[in-house]
Structure 1
């Protein structure tokens, strides 16, 4: 069944988009992270332009994060102070990301920038997660205890000035690294159409030493707000948000997430991290292959934007 997407300006199979949304929702529910890092590449691979894919997926991520963030807020697993400081940086990063998105699109360099960014980011994160999870599995099989970081252990980040007490997380930390992480997550999310949870969660746990109990909820709250800002800015500035596409992805994502949560609860943490690392690494390699393949058409004709 073909459906015409008005903003993407091409017909797509509605069942294919629905199936993709269900698959990404399954992954999101299984691993507890946003699926933007997977959905955006999938849309690009089926012919949707990167600009429309990135802008439309931000709406899908915001909607998917709403119920999770609300649930964590009710269970008091969100650190309001930490979330607020992260949002200050996230808002700045989102505005900067949308500005650069618009600039690159006007110069015709957006597609290449998105592809290279995905190769570097996903290959790096996926490779690191794969290496760490394989080590954890080998240690477990040999009977060695896992190499956990000592609770309360500090690094150079904790020596920075202008500290603030985050009561819910029970940490005393400088606001500078927190704001910097927020800027980075907001910027990357606006440029690449990803929630950034698979980057934010490890940063909060391993760099800032935030307790795991408050990391997931705080991460989802940041994702919800930054992605809401991003979709509004993309819709008003670039006019690239395809509401029909976003709605289909949302329906599939909600259905798939229910099954993903159940599957994730039955697997050990090391195996989950290994599968996630392989999945992220595979998407990064797929983008790298796309960059090296000679295109069928060496030149494209594009209408100039008004005022160009």
Structure 2
């Protein structure tokens, strides 16, 4: 059964929308990502205009993240103090990202800019995560047992001022790196319609040194507010949030997030990172092919002179 989406101005099978929302919800619960990096390209593929897809996917990210966060709260795997620092940077970044998005829209380059951002960020981060995770699994098997978490050596992060103790993560570091990570994620959220978890999760693990289990819940906490702020900004400035489309994505996303949390709790940290890396790389490759292949419909613009 097809339904008409008033803002997108297309008709889509509602079961397909529920399936997309459910799949993204599972990812949210498993990996601590909002899933916008996957749902936006999927909406492109079923004919949703890019502007509507970006704005509406940010709305879906909020719902799936809330559902996953509640499950992580029950497991006590959320560092609220770190989440607040990330959130401050994220809101500032989202405001800056909206300025950039509106400027690109005026220039008519939003579609190309969004796709290039996906290819660049997903490709680089996915490759780095995959290599690191494979090495970690190989070392674990060679040792015959999962290696114990080593204490991180002091780096340039520990030399920065304005230090704060994050008990849930076992860290005593400057608030500047997490604030900058949050700011970068906020910019991506506004431009790409993503929660930014595919950037934030690796950054929290490899740069800040947070435990993987705490990272997932903390990432969802920050994503909720940044994606919500982005949705409001798109709705008020560009009027591109399709409520009907968002509703079906939300229903599927909330149910999927609960399932994803259960699955994620049964997998090892290295296995979670490998799965996330493979998913990120596959999306990057798919978008790259779309940019290189000739589109099915070609359009030419000509200027007609009036008599």
Q: TM > 0.5 between the two?
A: yes
**1:184-199 superposed matches below 5 A:** 184-199=184-199
Task: Measure how far apart 1:114 and its partner are.
Answer: 0.6
Task: Measure how far apart 1:54 and its partner are.
Answer: 1.0
Inter-CA distance 250–207: structure 2 relative to 1 (3 Å threshold): same
Task: Measure how far apart 1:271 and its partner are.
Answer: 3.5
Q: Distance in 2 between matches of 1:267 and 1:87?
A: 28
TM-score norm. by structure 1 comes to 0.88
- Cα deviation per residue 1:261-305 (whole Å; 9 max; x = unaligned)? 44444444433332322221111001000111122444367xxxx
SS in 2 for 1:241: coil
- Please tell me whether residue 108 in structure 1 is matched to residue 102 in structure 2: no
Inter-CA distance 300–277: structure 2 relative to 1 (3 Å threshold): farther
1:286 matched residue in structure 2:
286
- Please tell me whether residue 227 in structure 1 is matched to residue 224 in structure 2: no
1:204 matched residue in structure 2:
204
1:10 matched residue in structure 2:
10
Q: Could you list the runs of 5+ residues in structure 2 that have no partner in the other structure?
A: 302-307
Task: Measure how far apart 1:30 and its partner are.
Answer: 3.5
SS in 1 for 2:150: coil
Contact 1:130 1:273 in 2 (8 A): yes
1:160 matched residue in structure 2:
160
Q: Distance in 2 between matches of 1:133 and 1:141?
A: 12
Task: Measure how far apart 1:72 and its partner are.
Answer: 4.4
Contact 1:161 1:174 in 2 (8 A): yes
Inter-CA distance 152–140: structure 2 relative to 1 (3 Å threshold): closer
Task: Measure how far apart 1:214 and its partner are.
Answer: 3.8
**1:108-257 superposed matches below 5 A:** 108-143=108-143, 150-212=150-212, 214-257=214-257
Task: Measure how far apart 1:73 and its partner are.
Answer: 4.9
Inter-CA distance 149–202: structure 2 relative to 1 (3 Å threshold): farther
Inter-CA distance 35–211: structure 2 relative to 1 (3 Å threshold): same
Inter-CA distance 167–138: structure 2 relative to 1 (3 Å threshold): closer
1:55 matched residue in structure 2:
55
Q: Distance in 1 between matches of 2:82 and 2:58?
A: 23
Q: Distance in 1 between matches of 2:169 and 2:133?
A: 26
Inter-CA distance 213–293: structure 2 relative to 1 (3 Å threshold): closer
TM-score norm. by structure 2 comes to 0.88
SS in 1 for 2:12: strand
76-85 or 113-122, which deviates more: 76-85
Task: Measure how far apart 1:190 and its partner are.
Answer: 1.4
Q: Distance in 2 between matches of 1:216 and 1:29?
A: 8
Task: Measure how far apart 1:142 and its partner are.
Answer: 3.6
Contact 1:139 1:145 in 2 (8 A): no
Q: Distance in 2 between matches of 1:155 and 1:165?
A: 16
Task: Measure how far apart 1:100 and its partner are.
Answer: 1.1
